[in-house]
A = this chain, B = another copy of it.
């Protein structure tokens, strides 16, 4: 049933494995100039459970930048066979280096992830993401070959050729960027094909944060099962956390990583189930271990156990970036939490606006919500009930009671380009 025996480890076994590996990671990391300095004075014997990881310092993106390119390497440069680097010709880039062993580990984790989503050796996978420095291309490719799938390195773009390849080779699995998937579904229809008749059955959608609604829309439009994946080049690339066939959160491979979720301001762990910043530690990277990396990605641990039987903890889909966090009345609020509540209500239209202001010395939050025409009725009582209902649902999600204002469809000004969802008036008063 499982691809690797590590998938069936019980919690106590995972804890023990993580403790051993974390100790080894600390010792290995010390061979790099950066961690030799950063971990000076830390005694590895202080680690006796995975929870002791909090005794170790964080590593940030700025650390990676300041150590560019070689500061985190634990081995001589000629032992590395691959690097992926952040794009951009200006600014401070980051680079991640892999030994052959690291490439093999990554391919194994990726193959396991795909197996977890129900993909098997007999599948034909079309990799529709770009290759090159972006880890999504070679990462998925190597994992797919490792699993034994017939792998088609189609790359990005060229919709008509993609469709031809899918039909000619009975492609059963697509790796596709979520936003491209929505476009592609429409193109397939325009080319005269019914998605129901296409040979595909599974789409792997990652690389871009997206909502549950987007996933459901992809599944309906394409007549496919879509599985969410999470990865970042600092932790190899794709294959860090992946949905199983239960589709209820992404299992973080805890034999290879220790995940934590912290309050991005205090750095303390949040309560179980609360949203915060994901912090990740590599347990199986040889040439460039990274300890307590602050991903800036927002998510939460999903409480309870998964029906699939795996004990590896699950994270929820990425709910935004830590940099988007608002602090209102001392409570951390993420705009994505508000959007999720609003978009789950059938009366609510496409647009909303969050305004923060001061009333006396108190923070206040006001949310303007566009209501669909058919619900914008003259019955004042109905509207008041809707308003209360929205406020109450929001309060139970963000733990602060917002003032909710219902407004007509299309009455909130639209920005050109990226939508403006938050206006903070507190600094301007």
A residues engaging B (CB < 8 A)?
A: 68-69, 77-78, 80-85, 87-89, 93, 95, 97, 100, 103, 121-122, 130-133, 137-138, 141, 144-145, 148-155, 158, 160-161, 164-165, 168-169
In this complex, the member of A85, A97, A100, A121 whose beta carbon has the largest number of chain B beta carbons within 10 angstroms is A85
In this complex, the member of A144, A154, A168 whose beta carbon has the largest number of chain B beta carbons within 10 angstroms is A168
The reply to whether A132 and B161 form a contact with Cβ atoms under 8 Å apart is no
Given contacts A78-B122, A145-B82, whether A153 and B168 have CB atoms under 8 Å apart is no
Given contacts A164-B89, A168-B93, whether A81 and B131 have CB atoms under 8 Å apart is no
- Taken together as a complex, chains A and B put the C-alpha atoms of A132 and B161 apart, in Å, by 12
The reply to whether A83 and B145 form a contact with Cβ atoms under 8 Å apart is no
* Shortest distance between the CB of A297 and any CB in chain B (Å): 24
23 A-B pairs whose Cβ atoms sit less than 8 Å apart in the complex? A68-B168, A69-B168, A69-B169, A78-B121, A78-B122, A78-B150, A81-B148, A81-B151, A83-B150, A83-B151, A83-B152, A83-B169, A84-B153, A85-B152, A88-B161, A89-B161, A93-B164, A93-B168, A130-B155, A131-B131, A131-B137, A132-B155, A133-B152
* Shortest distance between the CB of A142 and any CB in chain B (Å): 10
* Shortest distance between the CB of A234 and any CB in chain B (Å): 17
The reply to whether A155 and B133 form a contact with Cβ atoms under 8 Å apart is yes
* Shortest distance between the CB of A101 and any CB in chain B (Å): 12
* Shortest distance between the CB of A328 and any CB in chain B (Å): 41
The reply to whether A161 and B87 form a contact with Cβ atoms under 8 Å apart is yes
Q: Please name the 5 residue pairs, one residue from A and one from B, whose CB atoms are nearest each other, closest first.
A: A131-B131, A132-B155, A78-B122, A81-B145, A89-B160
Of all chain B residues, the one with the shortest Cβ separation from A131 is: B131
Q: Which residues of B contact A158 (CB under 8 A)?
A: 89
- Taken together as a complex, chains A and B put the C-alpha atoms of A203 and B145 apart, in Å, by 29
Q: Which residues of B contact A100 (CB under 8 A)?
A: 145, 148
- Taken together as a complex, chains A and B put the C-alpha atoms of A132 and B68 apart, in Å, by 29
Q: Which of B84, B122, B155 contacts A131 (CB 8 A)?
A: B155
Q: Which residues of B contact A155 (CB under 8 A)?
A: 130-133
- Taken together as a complex, chains A and B put the C-alpha atoms of A149 and B164 apart, in Å, by 36
The reply to whether B137 and A77 form a contact with Cβ atoms under 8 Å apart is no
Of all chain B residues, the one with the shortest Cβ separation from A153 is: B132
* Shortest distance between the CB of A76 and any CB in chain B (Å): 9
